[in-house]
């Protein structure tokens, strides 16, 4: 039976997309933004992801919600310094993987995410202290010729160029799920099998000094709504993390991969 909490979370997600401005709950606080108030506010998003990927997402969010956004790109290895030296007040950080956003969390720059935002998300993708959470995932696969190898006797090390595998130059490679899917889009595949070996995730967090936390929460809600989840699936070839959003059917579902990874991952909750 569907829990009351799940029903409430689903309703919040629906409201966030259908309404121009949504009063989003935060424990211990009451946020209520009217349309005219939101029209004067801008959500500032820092990200170490490619602007070419994030800009269309923000444009889609603006069109669907009426909230204005500003994207400030930063480099993964220098994100903390770049954010500290920026004149802009940061609201949200969108990360390529755990590296930059974990550094921000360690520097105590992030607020704890309200629990309702991550309801339904597997605990594997939630930072242990709740400071950030995954948005979409990539899986490292060993892709191999099943006529030459089995999962028990795969060669080590293996090449990392999918083109060499597809051309028949090598019989096993280790590549990410987006690389594999893009190759399958452009090249007639040879027979292959694959073994998942690692999961990484893009992430999102809210800055502690944000002065637009209601908008930040609305944006994160949007990322977990089908519009956001399918954007990363279709534009970046990444796995959606929210239940009910189908992943690319050419690869095994994330729900089947997680049990094989969790037991051997020492960084559970921070992929």
Strand partners, 133: 126, 204
Q: What is the pLDDT of residue 7?
A: 47
For residue 11, count other CB atoms closer than 10 A to its CB.
10
Q: For 113-146, give the secondary structure using H, E and C.
A: CCHHHHCCCCHHHECCCCCCEEEEEEEEEEEECC
CB 139 within 8 Å of CB 97: no
Query: Which residue in the block uniquely carries the two structure tokens 């090598």?
Result: 170
**For 97-113, what is each residue's pLDDT tens digit?**
999 999 999 999 999 99
The per-residue pLDDT for 58 is 98
Residue 82: closest CA among 121, 123, 48, 120: 48
d(CA 74, CA 120): 30
pLDDT at 186: 85
Q: Is 240 helix (H, G, I), strand (E, B) or coil?
A: strand
The predicted structure's pLDDT at residue 226: 96
The CA radius of gyration of the chain, in Å to the nearest whole number, is 20
The answer to whether 118 and 126 have CB atoms below 8 angstroms apart is yes
d(CA 75, CA 204): 16
- Provide the total of helices (H) and of strands (E) in the chain, helices listed first: 10, 8
pLDDT-flagged residues of the chain (< 50): 1-2, 4-32, 264-269
Q: Is residue 44 helix, strand or coil?
A: strand
Query: How far apart (Å, rounded) are the C-alpha atoms in residues 133 and 120?
Result: 12
Main-chain dihedrals φ then ψ at residue 27, nearest 5 degrees: -60, 125
Among residues 271, 159, 140, 152, which one has the least CA distance to residue 197?
140
* Measured distance between the N- and C-terminal CA atoms of the chain, rounded to whole angstroms: 30
pLDDT score recorded for residue 38: 59
The pLDDT of residue 36 is 60
Q: What is residue 22's three-state secondary structure?
A: coil
pLDDT in tens, 42-59: 999 999 999 999 999 999
106, 57, 51: which is closest to 74 by C-alpha? 51
For each of the domains in the chain, give its residue range(s) and CATH number, in order of start. Answer: 4-137+202-247 (3.40.190.10)
Candidates 5, 9, 92, 33; CA nearest to 214 is 33
- Give whole-number Cα distances, 113 to 35, 42, 79, 137, 184, in Å: 24, 20, 20, 19, 37
Tokens representing 191 are 């027979």
CA-nearest of 29, 175, 22, 171 to 112 is 29
Which phi and psi angles does 48 have, rounded to 5°?
A: -100, 10
Note the pLDDT of residue 178: 97
Token couple for 41:
């506010």
Say what the pTM is. 0.83
């Amino acid at each position: 039976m569907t829990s009351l909490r799940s029903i409430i979370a689903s309703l919040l997600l629906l409201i966030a997309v259908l309404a121009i401005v949504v009063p989003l709950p935060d424990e211990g606080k009451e946020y209520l933004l009217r349309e005219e108030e939101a029209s004067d506010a801008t959500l500032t998003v820092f990200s170490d992801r490619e602007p070419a990927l994030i800009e269309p997402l923000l444009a889609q969010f603006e069109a669907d919600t009426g909230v204005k956004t500003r994207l400030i790109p930063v480099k993964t290895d220098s994100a903390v310094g770049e954010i500290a030296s920026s004149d802009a007040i940061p609201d949200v950080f969108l990360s390529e993987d755990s590296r930059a956003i974990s550094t921000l969390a360690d520097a105590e720059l992030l607020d704890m995410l309200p629990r309702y935002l991550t309801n339904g998300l597997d605990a594997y993708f939630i930072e242990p202290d709740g400071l950030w959470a995954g948005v979409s995932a990539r899986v490292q696969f060993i892709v191999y010729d099943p006529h030459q190898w089995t999962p028990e006797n795969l060669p080590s090390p293996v090449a990392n160029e999918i083109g060499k595998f597809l051309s028949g130059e090598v019989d096993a490679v280790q590549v990410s799920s987006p690389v594999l899917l893009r190759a399958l889009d452009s090249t007639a595949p040879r027979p292959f099998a694959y073994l998942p070996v690692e999961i990484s995730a893009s992430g999102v967090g809210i800055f502690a000094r944000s002065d637009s936390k209601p908008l930040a929460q609305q944006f994160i809600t949007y990322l977990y709504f089908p519009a956001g989840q399918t954007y990363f699936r279709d534009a970046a070839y990444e796995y959606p993390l929210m239940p009910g959003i189908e992943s690319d059917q050419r690869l095994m579902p994330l729900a089947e991969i997680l049990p094989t990874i969790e037991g051997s991952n020492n960084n559970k909750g921070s992929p």
